Amino acid sequence: MSREIFADVIGAIHLTGNLVRIDLMTNQPEAGQSQKPEDAKKLAYRLVIPLEGFVSGFNLQEQAVRQLTKNGVLIDGRTLPAAETSQN
């Protein structure tokens, strides 16, 4: 069974022995709360993965960032162009 999980951001990464716990956060302001995303982050899921799998995944993410930079989607491997970041 294929299942998709959405998160706005990784909120935290916790290392415990040979396990890595990654907190996946979503922006969900409650009624009366500030609409600023940093004030409205809620833990959606926690991914627990062995250290070996985390490092392998990190290497895949680095490859994706290099490709996005090569294609002009990212400016310096870390930054979205100003026009796109102002919309978020």
pLDDT tens for 20-75 read 999 999 987 666 655 665 556 788 899 999 999 999 999 999 999 999 999 989 88
Answer whether 69's CB lies under 8 Å from 77's CB: yes
Write the CB contacts of 48 (distance below 8 Å, at least 6 apart in sequence). Answer: 19, 20, 21, 22
Helix (H, G, I), strand (E, B) or coil at 5: coil
The C-alpha atoms of residue 33 and residue 76 are separated, in whole angstroms, by 35
Helix (H, G, I), strand (E, B) or coil at 49: strand
| pLDDT value, residue 79 | 83
The tokens for 86 are: 């102002």
| pLDDT value, residue 20 | 98
